[in-house]
Structure 1
Amino acid sequence: MSTSLPLERDALPRVRDRLSFVYVEHCIVHRDSNALTMRDQEGVVHVPAAALSVLLLGPGSTVSHQAIALMAECGVSCVWVGENGVRYYAHGRSLAQSTRLLVAQARLVSHERERLRVAREMYAMRFPGEDVTGLTMRQLRGREGARMRDVYRANAQRTSVRWASRQYNPTDFDDSDPINQALSAANASLYGIVHAVIVSLGCSPGLGFIHAGHERSFVYDIADLYKADTSIPAAFDVVRDTGTEVTAAARHRIRDLLFEQKIIQRCVADVKSLLGEDLSDDDPSETQVASLWDVRAGAIEGGKNYAEE
């Protein structure tokens, strides 16, 4: 396997222009020039690293030092997951070079009134045409619960798949019926993509506005914006078409939906819009510049000796 010189980060595709995810298990991940290679008993597959958003490493995967170095250079989020991709263990570095969005996120989530405003905006995105301005969080949760119940029911009727309720055991994937297994697998893939977008933009996965107390609270906040259009219909389609062997099929189906509905691009735009930081492509704040904080001036020039002051 050959290597090449480090890539220029300014020349890399932005996260909104990349492919969604690749899930691998029981294989060896290595590097060939600027491509990742996945090798198992059936052969070798090459994937251009700079075109990938996130690599989900499942059980039995071995990843080389050169592969990790390439993903770090390209800003690919490498996520170590459990069997069927439904447990999160760890992740690697992101594409972010600025903390501007992170600062905005921390400011908004730390101010009760602003946090409530952002949470309402998130709910408003799920209830198009409805005014949620005066609703409390309790009222919003109730309305969202009713909406999701209707979404599940409508998909069950559309596909003729038997549906009782959303039930799953986080410690035992097989301890649920096929539709709940398919939902878990599809949601896990959606979470992986949203997680990759969030960290690629420099935000914190743990600072949520609706969800709280979990290291991926913000991931759940953003992923919930898209479930009704992606992971839920994907899961019902898979159970209708394949029966019981649903996990791989669910990942394939939601991968197609993520591409068809441009979820990565929408996720980038939605995160920036919710945080009130709609950065343009040529915004200099997205370059890697270390400033110094000042209580009055905000950010001032770094790398300068201020002894004369």
Structure 2
Amino acid sequence: MNGGLPPSTPRQLARVTDRVSFLYLEHCTLGRDGGALTATDESGVIHVPVAALSVLMLGPGTRLTHQAVAVVADAGCSLVWVGEEGVRYYAHGRSIARSTRLLEAQAKKVSNTRSRLAVAREMYAMRFSDDTTGLTMQQLRGKEGARVRQIYRKCSESTGVAWKRRTYDPNNFSGGDPINQALSAAHSALYGLSHAVITALGCSPGLGFVHTGHDRSFVYDVADLYKAECTIPIAFNVVKKIQDDGTADFADIAGITRRAVRDRIKELRLPEQMAHDLAVLLVGDREQPDDGEFWADVVQLWDEKDHSVVGGMNYSDDAADHAVESPDRP
């Protein structure tokens, strides 16, 4: 192929708030047919609506062509490779957004101790019923720890699923007990969606306000906002359902949990909620980040006085001279 299809524009792509949460595929080969993604196995070929997906989860036995990766990346869909019964994140497509408005706000706030603490307090306030004003990070962590222990205890009491403590080995998924396996599978799916929304909006997955030092610190920050109403109760309900079936067959507990999380994400309209919450946390915007400034595909030049000036121009040494248009950017 020489040249290929032209890249899509932001307005041609579905907003992250309108996308399906994730699709899981295994034992197939992903390719490209024109501008569409295809998945081929012994049953035949299906066309995957990648532009309408937030996350494409690739399980064991999946293979990718170069053109498949190109169409996925252009669609702004995140790729998540799934190991044997576990989820690992390795790559993502280009952000759907073209503006760095949220990224710049994130970098500015995380780089200042006072503003970083303010965002961390607001993130905890989204989970607590009481006021977090004036609390230190140590106090916030203590309150969060007590809250999570209470959630586990309540879910255990309501479902009858035995609970000891959260333990897991990322290199040995099957080594955990059923409830910890379900929690790992549920949280991994939520992390994938959180990462997809963060990158789709142009933010940095690594610049966390509560978590730090990891390239997915902000992913964990955002995912933690929704575990109590999404993944934790789902994990306990899945284990209860398997136990009630009488077979106690936990062989597909990861798949059952993942599908339950997907349904719950749709029910909660979680991508839309995540996008809204990110806008509130970073720029104080109570509306969805979908205005013209956010989506505009415009490159500007930094200026120490005016903050930014129009890019794609040839400025002369004399500031009073008229700017001359430069060749289009590639």
- Fold match (TM-score > 0.5): yes
Pair 176,114 (structure 1): closer, same or farther in 2 beyond 3 Å: same
Partner of 2:41: 40
- Is the deviation greater in 239-248 or in 197-206? 239-248
Q: Which secondary structure state, in structure 2, belongs to the residue aligned with residue 20 of structure 1?
A: strand
Match of 2:155 in 1: 155
Q: Against the structure 1 CA distance between its residues 99 and 164, is the aligned structure 2 distance closer, same or farther, given a 3 Å change threshold?
A: same
Q: Which residue of 2 aligns with 1:234?
A: 234
1:86 aligns with 87
Deviation at 1:261, TM superposition (A): 0.4
Matched, 1:54 2:55: yes
Instruction: Report if aligned partners of 2:21, 2:53 keep a CA contact under 8 Å in 1.
Output: yes
Greater shift after overlay, 61-70 or 280-289? 280-289
Give, as a single letter, the amino acid of the residue that structure 1 aligns with 2:104. V
List aligned pairs for 1:128-147, cutoff 5 A: 128=129, 130-147=130-147
Extract unaligned runs of 5+ from structure 2: 243-247, 320-330
**Percent identity over the alignment?**
55
Aligned residues of 1:101 and 1:277 also touching (Cα < 8 A): no
Could you tell me how far 1:56 is from its partner in structure 2?
Answer: 1.6
Task: Please point out which of 255, 263, 266 is paired with 2:273.
Answer: 266
2:175 & 2:86 partners in 1: Cα distance?
16
Q: How many residues align?
A: 306
CA-to-aligned-CA distance 1:192-247 (integer Å, 9 cap, x gap): 00000000000000000000000000000000000011111111111111241310
Question: 1:9 touches 1:74 (CA, 8 Å); kept in 2?
Answer: no
SS in 2 for 1:156: helix
- Displacement of 1:125 in angstroms is 0.1
Structure 1 stretch displaced more, 221-230 or 37-46? 37-46
Instruction: Show the 5 A alignment for 1:73-112.
Output: 73-112=74-113
Q: Which residue of 2 aligns with 1:299?
A: 308
SS of equivalent to 2:228 = helix
Q: Which has the larger radius of gyration?
A: 2
The structural deviation recorded for 1:280 is: 4.9
Equivalent position of 1:250 in the other structure: 257
Contact 2:80–2:87 (8 Å) recurs in 1:
no
What is the 5 A alignment of 1:111-122?
111-122=112-123
Measured against aligned partners, the alpha-carbon deviations of 1:44-84 in whole angstroms (never above 9, x if no partner) come to 44321221111122232101222222212221112234222
For 2:325, the equivalent position in structure 1 comes to none
Q: Is the 8 A contact 2:99 2:293 kept in 1?
A: no
Q: Provide the residue aligned with 1:166 in structure 2.
A: 166
Residues 75 and 200 in structure 1, CA contact (< 8 A), matched pair in contact too? yes
Whether 1:308 aligns to 2:328 is no
Q: Does 1:65 align with 2:66?
A: yes
Query: Which residue of 262, 276, 295 maps to 1:286?
Result: 295
* C-alpha contact (below 8 Å) 2:116/2:209 kept by paired residues: yes
Unaligned runs of 5+ in 1: none
Q: Which residue of 1 is the match for residue 194 of structure 2?
A: 194
Equivalent position amino acid for 2:83 in 1: G
Aligned to 1:180: 180
- Give secondary structure in 1 for the equivalent of 2:225: coil
Q: Per the alignment, do residues 75 and 224 of structure 1 end up closer, same or farther by CA in structure 2, a change over 3 Å counting? A: same
SS for the counterpart of 1:151 is helix
Is 114-123 or 245-254 further displaced after alignment?
245-254
Amino acid at match of 1:151: I
Query: 1:299 offset after TM fit, Å?
Result: 1.2
Q: Give the secondary structure class of the aligned counterpart of 2:60.
A: coil
Check the 8 A contact 2:55/2:79 in 1, yes or no: yes
Distance 1:79 1:295, change over 3 A: same
Give the Å deviation of 1:41: 3.6
CA distance 1:34–1:48, change in 2 (3 Å): farther
1:251 partner SS = helix
Cα offset, 1:189, TM superposition: 0.5
Instruction: Name the amino acid aligned to 2:190.
Output: L
Aligned residues of 1:77 and 1:94 also touching (Cα < 8 A): no
Normalising by the residue count of structure 1, what TM-score does the alignment of the two structures yield? Answer: 0.93
1:301 offset after TM fit, Å? 1.2
Q: TM-score normalised to the size of structure 2? A: 0.87
Who is 1:26 aligned against? 27
Task: Report deviation, 1:30.
Answer: 2.1
Q: Please, which moves more after superposition, 31-40 or 214-223?
A: 31-40
The alpha carbon displacement at 1:15 in A equals: 0.6
